[in-house]
């Protein structure tokens, strides 16, 4: 922070000011917030908001509360989103491994509340990694319709895939495609599109000092430029009558109201629309978008919603399933060995992996798809070995064999560390925490051989 402004800010708000914020940022925020600038600075003294989002694909609120060692308080941003204690360390909890919740700052759930996805719809999350918003969309779709989660950075797309798997989302496609290419190929295909855009991250300042270090007025302008290009692509993917939601975790006028104004000028086929919720406060341009500041109970978000009123016929051919073959039949038989219900949708076999494909897929060719649906099994020599993903996507009641443990059970923790545990069953057996599947193993001779993926195991 420039020393002149540092002195100015410290002199005016001596108790509130602790963090070195960039001078130009302080100046812009003071202009934006006027008399509330003092409240904003005061907020920087307090610890950042932390929260968890209930995953209704895996459990009910009661089960989540019973599985957590800390209380939850409702947030105004989504009925699924709760404040959790600032010191809560959540990643190592069995309930986290089981996908009962996603660790998410509460105001980050506001964008999907604005998107309002409904079961049966086709929804695109264009900038999706690591998956906070995609997993929320997956929960609201409830397994019906299709979620397409795209992430342009390959390593981040892998993390997205892993989070969707942990949360048991069965009807998602994960791709690693440039927005222009993806949205051009799937023009007019989606009922709802979310652009949770890369931004200057001013709403991350309290949590992430790196966001402060990377901030500059030039970075803000570069982000605004990039956001316009991403929105130009996203517009193509929305069908006539469909909804587009734009969100950021920054406060900048240029990246929020400025990007929206540029979008509406370039795209008269879209109109702004009110957000079906009353969180935060109105945007600064008098439009229907909403802003969330720390004084509104969240780290910081901007959410705008548009509706496409112009025509946009879809051109993509539907997915063409190959004829049934031996591998497909074997995969179907394996499913029957593991579960009591029938698989929904088609079984596809690609490159030695059997997948439970979502229904209603488009032609996937050329779209850098990492995964469509749920991994059922992988070929090991001439045999098929069940995959972790299929167990994560099924309720305990569908599993032919299951062990169930309370969340503080030493046996459960041993399983999550990758150890063998006692098991009276014989064959592939799900392992559950408070009735929610968290993995599986293969039982014989009174022991369960561990199949919990190495990269997910608890350490220590
Ligand atoms: N929606 C995610 C969630 O809730 O977990 C967070 C998304 S983050 C704010 C923005 C994402 O956009 C990052 O994963 C980043 O890699 C990606 N991104 C960066 N440049 C991009 C570009 N030019 N086009 C599309 N996405 C981009």
Exposure of 219 in the CB half-sphere (CA atoms within 13 A): 15
Q: Checking DSSP bridges between strand 427-433 and strand 347-350, what pairing results, if any?
A: unpaired
Instruction: Assign 260 to helix, strand or coil.
Output: helix
Set 249, 260, 399, 423: catalytic member: 249
pLDDT score for 327: 84
Across the chain, what does the average pLDDT equal?
A: 93
pLDDT score for 155: 97
Q: pLDDT band for position 207 (50/70/90)? A: confident
Query: CB–CB of 357/331 below 8 Å?
Result: no
Per the model's pLDDT, the better-predicted residue between 393 and 39 turns out to be: 393
Peptide bond into 384 cis (omega under 30): no
Instruction: Assign 125 to helix, strand or coil.
Output: strand
Q: What percent of the chain has pLDDT over 70?
A: 95
Q: pLDDT band for position 8 (50/70/90)? A: very low
Do 379 and 442 fall into the same domain?
no
Q: pLDDT band for position 259 (50/70/90)? A: very high
Q: Which of 98, 183, 175 is nearest to 134 (CA)?
A: 175
Domain that holds residue 297: 50-308
pLDDT tens sequence across 18-30: 468 899 999 999 9
Mean pLDDT of the region 407-435:
98
Residues in contact with 267: Cβ distance below 8 Å, sequence separation at least 6, in sequence order: 231, 232, 235
Q: Which residues pair with residue 192 across a beta bridge?
A: 123, 243
Q: What angle (nearest 5°) sits at the alpha carbon of residue 155, between those of residues 154 and 160? A: 90
CA dihedral (104, 110, 114, 118) positive or negative: positive
DSSP sequence for 194-258:
EEE-----GGGTTT-HHHHHH--HHHHHHHHHHHHHHHHHHHHHEEEEEEEEEEES---TIIIII
pLDDT tens sequence across 320-371: 877 668 888 999 999 999 999 999 889 999 888 999 999 999 999 999 999 9
Q: Can you say how many angstroms the Cα of residue 274 is from the centroid of all Cα atoms in its chain?
A: 23
Q: pLDDT band for position 51 (50/70/90)? A: very high
pLDDT score for 85: 82
Do 248 and 267 fall into the same domain?
yes
Q: Domain boundary residue among 349, 364, 392?
A: 392
Protein residue whose Cα sits closest to atom 19 of ligand 1: 198
Does the structure show a pLDDT above 50 at 379? yes
Going from the Cα of 196 to the center of ligand 1, the distance in angstroms, rounded, reads 7
Do 12 and 110 fall into the same domain?
no
Query: CB–CB of 285/337 below 8 Å?
Result: no
Going from the Cα of 197 to the center of ligand 1, the distance in angstroms, rounded, reads 6
Protein residue whose Cα sits closest to atom 23 of ligand 1: 226
Active site annotation includes 249:
yes
Do 6 and 114 fall into the same domain?
no
Do 137 and 280 fall into the same domain?
yes
Going from the Cα of 248 to the center of ligand 1, the distance in angstroms, rounded, reads 10
pLDDT tens sequence across 68-93: 999 999 999 999 999 998 677 899 99
Q: Domain boundary residue among 308, 340, 358?
A: 308
pLDDT score for 209: 87
CA distance 95 to 432: 10
Q: Which of 200, 197, 247, 196 is nearest to 219 (CA)?
A: 200
Do 96 and 241 fall into the same domain?
yes
Among 43-57, 92-106, 117-131, 212-226, the least confident range: 43-57
Q: Checking DSSP bridges between strand 383-386 and strand 374-380, what pairing results, if any?
A: antiparallel
Does the structure show a pLDDT above 70 at 132? yes
168 φψ region: left (φ > 0), alpha (ψ -120 to 50), beta (else): left
Ligand 1 atom with the smallest distance to the CA of 198 is 10
Going from the Cα of 2 to the center of ligand 1, the distance in angstroms, rounded, reads 30
Do 246 and 228 fall into the same domain?
yes
Do 171 and 58 fall into the same domain?
yes
Ligand 1 mutation target, pool 148, 156, 198, 228, most atoms within 8 A of CB:
198
Q: Which of 127, 124, 109, 110 is nearest to 227 (CA)?
A: 127
Do 272 and 163 fall into the same domain?
yes
Structural domain count, the chain: 4
Does the structure show a pLDDT above 60 at 12? no
Phi, psi of 157 (to 5 degrees): -65, -35
Do 206 and 251 fall into the same domain?
yes
CA distance 133 to 1: 33
Which residues form ligand 1's pocket by a CB distance below 6 Å?
127-133, 151-153, 156, 179, 196, 198, 226, 230
Do 239 and 301 fall into the same domain?
yes
pLDDT score for 193: 99
pTM: 0.95
Do 136 and 124 fall into the same domain?
yes
423: domain CATH number is 2.30.130.60
pLDDT score for 323: 60
On whether residue 380 sits in a domain, the answer given is yes
Ligand 1 mutation target, pool 129, 208, 234, most atoms within 8 A of CB:
129
Does the structure show a pLDDT above 90 at 268? yes
pLDDT score for 19: 65
On whether residue 362 sits in a domain, the answer given is yes
């Amino acid at each position: 922070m420039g020393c002149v402004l540092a002195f100015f800010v410290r002199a005016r708000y001596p108790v509130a000011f602790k963090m070195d914020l960039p001078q130009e940022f302080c100046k812009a925020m003071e202009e934006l917030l006027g008399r509330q600038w003092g409240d904003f600075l005061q907020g920087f003294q307090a610890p950042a908001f932390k929260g968890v989002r209930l995953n209704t694909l895996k459990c009910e609120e009661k089960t989540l509360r019973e599985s957590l060692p800390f209380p939850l308080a409702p947030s105004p941003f989504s009925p699924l989103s709760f404040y959790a204690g600032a010191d809560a360390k959540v990643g190592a909890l069995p309930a986290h491994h089981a996908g009962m919740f996603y660790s998410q700052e509460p105001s980050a759930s506001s964008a999907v509340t604005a998107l309002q996805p409904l079961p049966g719809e086709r929804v695109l999350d264009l900038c999706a990694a690591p998956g906070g918003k995609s997993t929320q969309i997956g929960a609201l779709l409830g397994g019906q319709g299709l979620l397409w989660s795209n992430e342009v950075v390959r390593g981040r797309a892998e993390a997205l895939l892993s989070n969707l798997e942990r949360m048991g989302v069965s009807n998602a496609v994960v791709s690693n495609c440039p927005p222009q290419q993806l949205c051009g190929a799937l023009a007019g295909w989606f009922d709802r599109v979310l652009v949770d855009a890369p931004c200057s991250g001013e709403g991350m300042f309290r949590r992430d000092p790196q966001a402060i270090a990377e901030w500059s007025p030039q970075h803000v302008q570069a982000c605004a430029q990039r956001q316009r290009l991403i929105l130009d692509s996203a517009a193509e993917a929305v069908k006539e009558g469909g909804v587009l939601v734009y969100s950021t975790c920054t406060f900048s006028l240029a990246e929020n109201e400025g990007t929206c104004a540029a979008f509406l000028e370039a795209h008269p086929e879209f109109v702004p629309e009110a957000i079906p919720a009353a969180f935060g406060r109105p945007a600064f341009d008098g439009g229907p978008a909403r802003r969330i500041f720390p004084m509104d109970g969240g780290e910081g978000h901007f959410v705008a919603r548009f509706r496409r009123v112009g025509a946009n016929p879809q051109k993509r051919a539907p997915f063409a399933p190959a004829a049934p073959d031996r591998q497909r039949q074997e995969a179907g038989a394996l499913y029957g060995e593991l579960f009591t219900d029938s698989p929904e949708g088609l079984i596809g076999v690609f490159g030695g992996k059997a997948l439970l494909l979502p229904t209603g897929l488009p032609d996937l060719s050329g779209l850098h798809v990492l995964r469509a649906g749920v991994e059922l099994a992988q070929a090991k020599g001439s045999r098929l070995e069940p995959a972790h993903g299929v167990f994560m996507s099924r309720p305990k009641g569908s599993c032919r064999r299951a062990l169930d443990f309370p969340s503080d059970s030493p046996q459960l923790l041993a399983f999550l560390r990758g150890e063998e545990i006692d098991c009276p069953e014989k064959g592939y057996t799900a392992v559950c925490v408070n009735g929610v599947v968290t993995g599986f193993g293969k039982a014989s001779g009174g022991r369960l051989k561990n199949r919990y993926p190495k990269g997910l195991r608890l350490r220590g």
